[in-house]
Amino acid sequence: AQWADSTLFWAAMGYNLGPKGAASMFKDAPAGTAEAFAKDRGAMRAGMPRLPEADATAAYRSYLRRLADSIDYSPFLLGDAPCVADFAAYHPLWFSRVRNPAMAGIFEPVPQLLEWMDRVAAIGHGKKEKLDPAAAIAIAKDAMPAEVKDEFFQDEHGIALGSKVTVTAESFGHEPTEGELVAASRTFYVLRRTDDRAGTVHVHFPRIGFILGKADPS
């Protein structure tokens, strides 16, 4: 799932948002939409080099073949039942097939992936109710986060639990999140944050792909 949600994603986006893909995606959009989108994504990338379209396409084709090989003998990527790997891999492919169908020709050598996508899509989204942002924040403010269980504490940084820290993505969206470190297990961090709008919340981050550091004492 980690692989599917990182390298596959970047290859897919490099392919989908090359000149041909971008022209198709924004052809009917209001004036300025493409420029605003590029500015927003540029800020999120924070100087991270962009994979050239040719390299992204080659990588994407390779990943599609690897995914296709994974379903040669089972209906889902890791066996007979769907799991997080299927959902993580599905969304970049969905972008090519559904959101920007002008780019769907890349699936021609791997038609079995389209059958797999149909199986994943058939799972659906469960039952959902609309909730506006203000109501969601109000619910958070009226609730208290669950107590952090006695997770194994893995200290790689010399930072004690209870310290003020920041967690920042290493490659995409570099805005740091500041809070009190209440857990640092083998696989994730948990920060406790409190503000006037949402009250006290626990924010979870995976270790892989994120950087932990001490907060600026100022």
**What digits encode the pLDDT tens for the residues 48-102?**
677 789 999 999 999 999 999 999 999 999 999 999 899 999 999 999 999 999 9
How would residue 127 be classed by pLDDT, with cut points 50, 70 and 90? confident
pLDDT tens-digit map of 148-186: 877 789 999 999 999 999 999 887 777 899 999 999 999
Output the pLDDT for position 72: 92
Q: 């203000």: which residue's tokens?
A: 134
Residues 6+ apart with CB under 8 A from 137: 197, 198
For residue 162, the cross-strand partners are none
Q: What angle do CA 161, 167, 172 make, to 5 degrees?
A: 160
Output the pLDDT for position 218: 65
Residues of the chain with pLDDT > 70, as a percent, come to 94
How would residue 47 be classed by pLDDT, with cut points 50, 70 and 90? low
- SS3 for 206? strand
Output the pLDDT for position 48: 67
How would residue 2 be classed by pLDDT, with cut points 50, 70 and 90? very low
In what helix (H) or strand (E) does residue 88 lie, and over which residues does it extend? helix 84-94
Model pTM score: 0.73
